[in-house]
Structure 1
Amino acid sequence: MKTTCILILFWPLYMSLLTDESQTSKTEVKCNFTEKNYSLIPADINKDVTILDLSYNQITLNIRDISVLQRYLLLTELYLIENNVVILHKNSFGNLFNLKILNICRNSIRVIQQGAFIGLNKLKELYLCQNKILQLNPDIFVPLKILKLLNLQGNLISYFDAPPLLHLELIILYGNPWNCSCGLLNLQNWLNTSNVILENENITMCSYPDILKSYSIKTVPYNAECYSKFPSPITEDLYINFQSISNSTFNSSLNNLTRNSEHEPLGKSWAFLVGVVVTVLITSLIIFFAIKCPIWYNFLLSYNHHHLEEHEADAYEDDFTGYASSISQISDINSEETTVIFEQLHSFVEDDDGFIEDKYIDSHELHEEN
């Protein structure tokens, strides 16, 4: 009785699963256009196609091909093996949300633009083998959130940083001229600390420098200097986040500065700057001549002089005599000394000719007046 009840309860679920599998098998549509000498992707393919093979043609995957691909929304597998693809443009596979396998091996790909794999959220296998890729930015793989297999075999890659692929299980890197200097340390750390399997590890060898040619890229013995140049795996994520924040802040500031410099008219700051420079130069010259040529200000420091008038001489004599008498009254000295001082003062007044001795008085004029 219990068994019967259980069967009754789970029977609708079982039937729905069978129905989904049958519908999946029925909706799988394969289109094989290999070795047709096509230079463009045909536009008259069944829109319900799920597996499309365009290998061994002359397709370049240009703008027109990209627009045609956008029509096949149900594609789960796309094969473009041995065509004439040179560059993967941004949004080359934008509408292929259901794509799980993408194979573009044996082409002439040299450049993969940022955003080339946008929209491939369900992609699990990516084959880029035997192309002419020289440099590869690992950030282009960010949209591939569930990628499990990445094949980069047989390219011209000498340096490759650790890609941000959390679900990657297998990576193929042999057949590239790897430069095993310190720059490859992050990739080695990632290969040794993650669960990713490096296929054909024994033949994924270093090409540079010569002393490391016998090592696999996964077993290169790096020295302490390399570890000091590159962050450890523990702090790598923090370093990347900090670097991205600082770069974005710097770029925004630089963009604002450039935008302001482009749109705002030039003011009169240059005129002010010229005035400041001229003022500094003139002041420096004045100070230089003042130090090197001090004769000119000696004249300014000298005092003006003139002949004393008669009433000025009398006033001077009275003042001087009064001053002497005050001294005699205040000082408590003997009479003899007082008499001597008075006589000296009196003789000085009688000999005075009404002029104050001045070194600037011309001797010739003094002689004429006498």
Structure 2
Amino acid sequence: MAPARLLGVCSLLCAWSVVMGHPCSLDHQGWADCNGKSLLHAPSSLPSNITGLDLSFNSLVMPRHGTLLMHFPSLRSLNLSSNALLALSPAVFSNLGALRLLDLSSCSIAYLHTDAFKGLGNLHTLLLRNNNLQELEVPFFLPLKALFHLDLQHNALVSVNALSLELMEAVPQVRLEGNPWVCDCTAHPLQQWLQRRQAVQVTCASPPELQGREVAALDSQDLGCQMKQRFPREVSTVQQTTVAHSNTTTPPSRKGGRSWPYLVGFLVAAISISILIALAAKCKLFHKNFASYRHRPLPETSSTGGSPMEDGSSWDRGWGASKNHTMPSAASLQAEDDDGFIEDNYIQPSEQQREEEEWESHLSI
């Protein structure tokens, strides 16, 4: 029953192609073969639900604006190889969201717009071999989230920038053989990338002395890269020139290079000791000032000639009872000094004259 049904489907497709008049052949799996028919455009009479389309070896004209195949949204495989496409316009495949394989080999493509593959989020395999690509723009890889196999063999690539190589890290299979790689210092990122991927057969095209050698097997000296050297201050200019010409990556030995921790420790210790000494001196000065403030100055003697007893009593009240037995009062000192005689110097002249007059009056009586 199944073979009969298959035969019926094939007969129906063949009859459809005859009626509609397109030159392509259809199979029962939904594959349309339009190879080598000198077509300028894809036949619009093809069924819209086909999943595969071969348009290789034709003379297709790429639209400058819009999409190439707007009538076949179910395409999963598209072969456009051996067509003179030259350049791909932006979003030319944007309506082919289900596409898994795209073959653009031998199309003389020299330029890829950064949005040429916009909308191909499910693309698994992209074949770009045998074209004239000289560089790869970084945004070219951004829409290709599911890319697994990328073929860039036999193009005109002489170098690849580091950002493109970083984006290609996410692609498990990348073919770069057959490009005219220039093996100078600019190829150093490519060399490291190839060494990580363990890729082989990517060989140099120039300079002549490195022609045919594998890029992954070269080192920085072969590529002529002058690695940056850091020289200590005590190294002379002659030593710097010698190391630069020898292209060694080992920095010269530095004596005393680790002495700075000891210097920092010494400075910290000196500052700490100075702070402690200053604090000790300030504490001693503080105690001294505090002790001096606890004593009160002696009261000044009244200018009105108050009695010694009054001065002594007021002084005793200021110092308190605890001081009375330890220090003599002013009265006791006055009493000890008083021997019963009054010096003449303390008698005023008026008082002496008055006393003489009283004495004379007494004698006269």
Using the TM superposition, give the Cα deviation of residue 91 of structure 1 relative to its aligned residue in structure 2, in angstroms.
0.5
Matches within 5 A, 1:148-163: 148-161=148-161, 162-163=165-166
Structure 2 matches for 1:203-214, cutoff 5 A? 204-214=202-212
Q: Give 1 or 2: higher helix fraction.
A: 1
User: Which whole-Å CA distance do the structure 1 matches of 2:198 and 2:116 have between them?
Assistant: 25
Residue 169 of structure 1 corresponds to 172
| Displacement after TM superposition at 1:227 (Å) | 7.3
Provide closer, same or farther for how the CA distance between residues 227 and 32 of structure 1 changes in structure 2, counting only shifts above 3 A: farther
RMSD over equivalenced CA pairs, Å = 2.3
How far apart in 2 are the matches of 1:144 and 1:121? 5
3-state secondary structure, aligned to 2:167: coil
CA shift, 1:68, in A, is 4.4
1:216 counterpart = 2:217: no
Q: Counterparts of 2:74 and 2:169 in 1: how far apart (Å)?
A: 26
Distance in structure 1 (CA, Å) of the matches to 2:207 and 2:136? 21
Deviation at 1:214, TM superposition (A): 3.7
**1:39 aligned partner:** 40
Measured against aligned partners, the alpha-carbon deviations of 1:191-221 in whole angstroms (never above 9, x if no partner) come to 222xx463xx23x210111222142122222
The separation in 2 between residues aligned to 1:228 and 1:88, in whole angstroms, is: 40
Aligned to 1:184: 187
Residues 109, 133 of structure 1: 8 Å contact kept: yes
Deviations 1:109-167 (A, max 9, x none): 11101111111111111100111112222431111112111111111111123150344
Secondary structure at 1:63 match in 2: coil
Instruction: Name the SS of the counterpart of 2:168 in structure 1.
Output: coil
| Counterpart AA for 1:44 | S
Q: Which residue of 2 aligns with 1:122?
A: 122
SS of the equivalent of 2:102 reads strand
* Aligned residue-pair number: 198
**Residue correspondence of structure 1 range 230-309 to structure 2 within 5 A:** none
Matched AA of 1:115: D
Q: Which residue identity is paired with 1:185? A: H
Instruction: Work out whether residues 144 and 165 of structure 1, in 8 Å CA contact, stay in contact via their aligned partners in 2.
Output: no
List alignment gaps of at least 5 residues for structure 2.
1-26, 229-365
Are the aligned partners of 1:83 and 1:106 in contact in 2 as well (CA < 8 Å)? Answer: yes
The 1:170/1:71 distance shift into structure 2, 3 A limit, reads same
Conserved 8 A contact 2:183-2:205: yes
SS of structure 2 residue aligned to 1:153: coil
Aligned to 1:279: none
Q: CA deviation at 1:96?
A: 1.1
- On the 8 A contact 1:170/1:197 being kept in 2, the answer is no
Q: Residues 323-361 of structure 1, C-alpha deviation per residue, up to 9 Å, x if partnerless? A: xxxxxxxxxxxxxxxxxxxxxxxxxxxxxxxxxxxxxxx
Cα 1:163–1:130 change in 2 (3 A) is: farther
- Check 1:118–1:176 CA distance in 2 against 1; reply closer, same or farther (3 A cut): same
Distance 2:185 2:224 in 1: 8
Work out the CA distance in 2 between the residues paired with 1:146 and 1:197: 22
Alpha-carbon contact 2:67-2:95 (below 8 Å) kept: no
Displacement, 1:222?
1.5
Deviation of 1:27 after TM superposition, in Å, equals: 9.5
Aligned-partner SS, 1:52: strand
Q: What amino acid does structure 1 have at the position aligned with 2:122?
A: K
Give the deviation of 1:75 after TM superposition. 1.0
What is the TM-score normalised by the length of structure 1?
Answer: 0.50
Question: Cα distance 1:106–1:152, how it changes in 2: closer, same or farther (>3 A)?
Answer: same
SS at match of 2:67: helix
Verify: 1:63 aligned to 2:61, yes or no.
no
Secondary structure at the aligned position of 1:183 is classed as helix
Distance 1:115 1:67 in 2: 12
Alignment check: 8 A CA contact 1:70 1:94 kept: no
In structure 2, distance between residues paired with 1:225 and 1:106: 34
Whole-angstrom CA distance in 2 between matches of 1:94 and 1:72: 12
For the 8 Å contact 2:87–2:109, the answer to whether it is kept is yes
Structure of greater Rg? 2
After TM superposition, the structure 1 = structure 2 runs for residues 13-28 of structure 1, keeping only pairs within 5 Å, are 28=29
Quick check: 1:121–1:144 contact (8 Å CA) kept in 2? yes
The aligned amino acid for 1:73 is P
Q: CA distance change for structure 1 residues 163 and 120 in 2, over 3 Å: closer, same or farther?
A: farther
Given the superposition, is the C-alpha separation of residues 163 and 56 from structure 1 closer, same or farther in structure 2, using an over 3 Å criterion? farther
The structure-2 alpha-carbon separation of the partners of 1:134 and 1:190, relative to structure 1 and needing over 3 Å to count, comes to same
CA displacement at 1:225 relative to structure 2: 6.9
User: What is the letter of the counterpart of residue 220 of structure 1?
Assistant: L
Instruction: Give SS of 1:188's match.
Output: helix
> Contact conserved, 1:43 with 1:68, CA < 8 A, in 2?
no
